[in-house]
Amino acid sequence: MGRSLIGGGAASVVLCLPFTSKVFAHPGSGIVVDRKGQVFFVDNGGGAALWKIDGAGKLRRLREGGWHWLALDERGNYSAEDLKRWFKEGITMNFGRVPLPDSKGALLQADGAPFVIDRDGNLCWAKGNLEIARLSLDGKVTLLAPSMKETASKLGGIKGLACGADGCLYVSFPSAVLKMQPDGKVTTLAHPINLNGVDTDLPKGTPDDQKPFLRGLAVDAHGAVYAAASGSRCVVKIAVDGKVEVVLKAERPWSPTGVAVSGEDVYVLEYTNGNAAPDWLPRIRKLGRDGRVTTLAQPSPLRAGTLP
């Protein structure tokens, strides 16, 4: 059940620069799975690219240049022209569009802040990493739950966004997940998140109240949240009652940064040395409904891939 918010740590600012920059704050968190079971993910390390793993498990480079966040515009609601115009007019942050072959849909990419396309097709993003802005299909922008800004600052800033089948938005912070109802009401799903028996991968000086440093997250059909606890090299599952458990661990030097859910399967984007130099290497692992973990993509074939 939702409950009132409890205090948090000091706010932090995470800088996510486009792939052309030589300076990165941390590796990308963008991963999505479509209805065909195809996995799309970003690589904003040394081999910057957008990748696809098709239903047969074949890996292919879709486009050069890897941004930080990724969402699937399944209905093709957002054209490249509109996205460019809205950014130029200061209505939205900068979004890139990658059309999908044999489909009216597209992938949207962004840097700077997490974003998601909600159940109704609206484009939602973490404005300033402290507020949730929603762009309706007619181009109107609304700030959801404006009073959440102070809370977001206390909790360390927004690190991830996801939408549930019920239309609720789920928002991750370094040590918390909040749930936002369609009417804007915000409740706490879990805070603080304390984990035992896990490894750590945190920048020096990270406050204790920002552990395990959650980033990307996803929600299954039952309302359970899966979040990449990058600072603890694991993925956590948060049940609807707020119970937290570790469901997947990564060995050094890997750390999860993004999560996607398809049916009963959980797909995890991981990077090497997430808090070190920007030449990160990604891999994709799948946590099956039976608890079995399989690796779908490794760094070496990613670098050897070719454009279509």
Task: Indicate whether 48 pLDDT > 70.
Answer: yes
* Weakest-pLDDT range from 20-34, 40-54, 71-85, 180-194: 20-34
- pLDDT bucket at 89, cuts 50 / 70 / 90: very high
Report which of 241, 228, 272 is spatially closest to residue 254, judged by C-alpha positions.
272
Confidence (pLDDT) at 17: 35
Q: What is the pLDDT of residues 181-213, one digit of tens each?
A: 998 899 999 999 999 999 998 888 899 999 999
Residue 56: which residues within 8 A CB-CB, separation 6 or more? none
pTM higher than the cut 0.85: yes
The Cα–Cα gap between 188 and 21 comes to 36
Torsion angle (degrees, nearest 10) of CA 170, 163, 292, 57: -140
The Cα–Cα gap between 84 and 235 comes to 35
Token code pair at residue 136: 């309706």
Q: What is the 3-state secondary structure (H, E, C) of the chain?
A: CCCCCCCCCCCCCCCCCCCCCCCCCCCCCCEEECCCCCEEEEECCCCCEEEEECCCCCEEEEEECCCCEEEEECCCCCCHHHHHHHHHCCCCCCEEEEECCCCCCEEEEECCCCEEECCCCCEEEEECCCEEEEECCCCCEEEECCCHHHHHHHCCCCCEEEECCCCCEEEEECCEEEEECCCCCEEEEECCCCCCCCCCCCCCCCCHHHCCCEEEEEECCCCCEEEEEHHHCEEEEECCCCCEEEEEECCCCEEEEEEEEECCEEEEEEEECCCCCCCCCEEEEEECCCCCEEEEECHHHHHHCCCC
Confidence (pLDDT) at 304: 52
Confidence (pLDDT) at 11: 30
Tell me the pLDDT of the chain averaged across its residues.
Answer: 88
Integer-rounded Cα radius of gyration of the chain: 18
Task: Indicate whether 273 pLDDT > 80.
Answer: yes
Q: What is the pLDDT of residues 4-14, one digit of tens each?
A: 333 333 333 33
Q: What is the pLDDT of residues 215-271, one digit of tens each?
A: 999 999 999 999 999 999 999 999 999 999 999 999 999 999 999 999 999 999 999
- pLDDT bucket at 302, cuts 50 / 70 / 90: low
